[in-house]
Structure 1
């Protein structure tokens, strides 16, 4: 059991690094006609026919699949219902990431008549901050202050960067100007949060942080 827990924890670290690494590598390899920070979205690197198609989509799918076992590790180490709710949202966000790779831009030219790319992307960017906030609330109730603060701030990055982008472009929602920048920052925030969770769990073999109280423990009066 201990080996499975350790492997699942490492899956969280590996999944986040693979996903972010694939995005970064794709930005380096993508030619200007298919991707620029100023005028494209990250998903343009995974568009059907783009040179970076396999790197971008493959990295998101592989990173998500590798990272999913970490949700199980978090679940068995959870200490209350709010942490478990945050973990469920985390798993949904990771599934959305996998969906971005599967339902790449213009996937309708290959399969399905309805594009599901937008739904998958909204699942990641829309649910990820709530996963952080809900889990962070549970961590706070469990007495794990450092993890709670980290979770809240990683979650806060998402609305801050999107609102900052909207302000910078003058509120024009129909433009793709610099759209890849808030996408990338949000992706880093999501991956960074997962890494912080993995490191926190890895440091406590029994899955319980120092000083935190187990919900099943009873108060024992001192004698």
Structure 2
């Protein structure tokens, strides 16, 4: 039973980011007049009708799915990784429950920014543990999640990819880390029955 629960929690590391991407795609397709990549995805949740309902419900579902994987990270990797992933899940759930315009939606945005630290922390830990290629790749993902915002923050309007575009790149980067880490944990469990992945993060 314990092994099955562990496997299901690991699978959540793939299902949660997949749910986020599906939510963004469906919401953008249903939202009339939504301008991607210029506008943030949160605009969809502040509209009315099926687009907002699907978008907000999808974010809440993705946030809920993140919690089992956060527990998996907490027990198999580190409390820092697990805690940050739990914050990431909370940011999606809060954004879905409190659409754009609510003060709590701004809190969700800040939480999501903090969660970008995940790939960096894991990458540095792997690098120090001797897994330098894996560590460097994870740091690169974390860097991509931040670097895409620099033109926007510096006011280089012609260089920016748009707010929605920057959001998508960041979500893809952190989502790729989540899937990567879940596969590592799955392989570790399958090959030697271990409850922890080789990484120390």
- Using structure 1 for the length normalisation, give the TM-score: 0.77
How do 1:54-203 residues align onto structure 2 when only pairs under 5 Å count? 54-78=53-77, 83-107=78-102, 115-124=103-112, 126-166=113-153, 168-169=156-157, 178-203=162-187
CA shift digits 1:32-88 (9 cap, x unpaired): 1xx11154211000005254111111111101101210111122212xxxx432332
Deviation at 1:178, TM superposition (A): 2.3
Q: Which has the higher helix share?
A: 2
Q: Is the 1:12–1:67 contact (alpha carbons within 8 Å) kept by the matching residues of 2?
A: yes
User: Which blocks of at least 5 consecutive residues in structure 2 are unaligned?
Assistant: none
Q: Is the 2:9–2:72 contact (alpha carbons within 8 Å) kept by the matching residues of 1?
A: yes
When Rg is computed on C-alpha atoms for both structures, the one with the higher figure is: 1
State the SS of the aligned residue for 1:15. Answer: helix
Q: Distance in 2 between matches of 1:199 and 1:85?
A: 19
Q: Distance in 2 between matches of 1:171 and 1:188?
A: 20
Q: Is the 2:92–2:108 contact (alpha carbons within 8 Å) kept by the matching residues of 1?
A: yes
Q: Is the 1:89–1:131 contact (alpha carbons within 8 Å) kept by the matching residues of 2?
A: yes
Q: Is the 2:120–2:138 contact (alpha carbons within 8 Å) kept by the matching residues of 1?
A: yes
Q: Distance in 2 between matches of 1:187 and 1:70?
A: 17
User: Which blocks of at least 5 consecutive residues in structure 1 are unaligned?
Assistant: 108-114, 215-223
Name the counterpart of 1:10: 11
Deviates more, 1:135-144 or 1:157-166: 135-144
Q: Distance in 2 between matches of 1:84 and 1:137?
A: 15
